[in-house]
Structure 1
């Protein structure tokens, strides 16, 4: 059975000695005067691509995005993407792990969670210029590695992410999105990603979070506008699509990987939610 190729932070940035959970390169250095072409793969870390000047194609979790000047792409761990950038593109590529950037302040955590729900941030020139100045500060700190440079990088990242939140037009952390609910949702998403092949029932996750099924549904409906069951189904379908397009696994292997012993049931489930059988989906979209 084949698995989706996974990039780890050391190999992705070609820095075998790096162990601090953060890395940054200018695109000019990274591309070395050539086009960049990356086949479909998955990351275990946060991925931020900041494009001052660029053209190409970028697809994240099967959603195609235009590659334009003054654009930021943000990916959370576990997402898959494929990328083509033409030679001459300018900007920065940042990778960081949860271990490196784990803000202690509640508001900063909320900012990161909010921007993590979106992958593409096209920006106006003035706002992009402000953000790019912060990126240049981070690059200088990372390159020179003076005393307490990691602390300086984390402080600058706080500002970068706040700029992205402002650009996205999303609400600032407030009582409209209670911290308690957001924390339960984060815990739920982690649990579903971990236990999805074995557990697909709302009751299991409610028990793990010491909530009733009604309370858990209230959380997902308030923050996501959907029931917990719908969220679980969405995550099953997303991972099935990833496996069908990024590997050569047979449908029965994909079904088994997702915890379905009855392949026929999995096929019906997939078709109900996508309008395609797994084989038709693979043929039409690969």
Structure 2
């Protein structure tokens, strides 16, 4: 693999939001060192909002990167490791002179139990704190993986070695994530956790008929601001964000797996005004419902 010019990915443009897909020649995994050679040739692409159809990890040995993940500002340095989920929107703000690694891999390459741990987390932002020992371990493992990826493709057991190194790395990420998640949960009162879980349960049951944060707050007998602060402190995202994401996910399912018209889907999701639903969907998905259905199918 030659990463000298640009990462082994291809860009699929869907409306204003570009989608970066893993190149078929990458075998579902890409690892490239920072700083990237000839970065200036495509730096403008990185600062535009874009998505990846795969997991993406950022690990720095030196320097700092500021970025936004689903509109949430994130700062990455050598004491942290960021793993973004497929479909999340990235927008790089600045990358001060830095040294490190960017790892991309398909979800199908990692253990299902680990994937469930990531995807079922209350937080949609997986940002780990690393101590010096963990930083050294990450650096060593990513270096070994980089060497394995650059071996001759005919080398015996090459693919097995790559798979083993990737899974070993992700298992360590998962272990640190679970430990820090447990620590984080202990930092919150039982009431905060219980309120967040009750909100999520109500959201699942009522999202298509109840889209105002204030209505959920009334049912939980708290103020709207208190509910929002509580949910955001536990999950990292506001009540409004959770509502919008739940509606968007169901709209996408109906567009892909049914033949309902856009008007019918809007009504089913609780929107009498189809034009408003179309604008809302476009803002969240980056393209219109019609284009999403056409491209996905």
Q: Does 1:127 align with 2:134?
A: yes
Contact 2:22 2:28 in 1 (8 A): yes
Going from structure 1 to structure 2, the CA distance change for 1:3 and 1:88 (only over 3 Å counts) comes to closer
The answer to whether the Cα contact below 8 Å between 1:8 and 1:44 also exists between their aligned partners in 2 is yes
**Partner Cα distance (1:80, 1:136) in 2:** 27
**RMSD in angstroms over aligned alpha carbons?**
4.2
Report what 1:153 is aligned to.
Answer: 162
Distance across 2 between alignment mates of 1:122 and 1:31: 30
CA separation of 1:117 and 1:232: change in aligned 2, threshold 3 A:
closer
Contact 2:76 / 2:82 at 8 angstroms: preserved in 1?
no
Change (3 A) 1:121 1:238: farther
Once residues 84 and 27 of structure 2 are traced to their aligned partners in structure 1, the CA distance between those partners, rounded to angstroms, is: 19
Q: What is the TM-score normalised by the length of structure 2? A: 0.52
Instruction: Pick from 150, 166, 176 the counterpart of residue 175 of structure 2.
Output: 166
Q: CA deviation at 1:110?
A: 4.5
| Structure 1 residues not aligned, in runs of 5+ | 11-16, 172-191, 193-199, 203-223, 240-254, 271-286
Aligned length: 195
Q: Deviations over 1:43-88 (max 9, x none)?
A: 1111111111122311101110123223211111111011144353
Aligned counterpart, 1:57: 66
In structure 2, C-alpha distance between the alignment counterparts of 1:70 and 1:31, rounded to whole Å: 26
- Aligned equivalents of 1:93, 1:64: Cα separation in 2: 18
Structure 2 unpaired stretches of 5+: 1-13, 183-203, 210-233, 250-264, 282-297
CA distance in 2, matches of 1:84, 1:141: 32
**1:233 aligned to 236, 243, 257, which one?**
243
In structure 1, what is the equivalent of residue 273 of structure 2? Answer: 262
Structure 2 CA distance for aligned equivalents of residues 158 and 97 of structure 1:
12
**Alpha-carbon separation, structure 1, partners of 2:275 and 2:28:** 43
Cα displacement (A) at 1:119 = 2.6
State TM-score, norm by structure 1: 0.54
In 2: Cα distance, 1:161 partner to 1:77 partner? 15
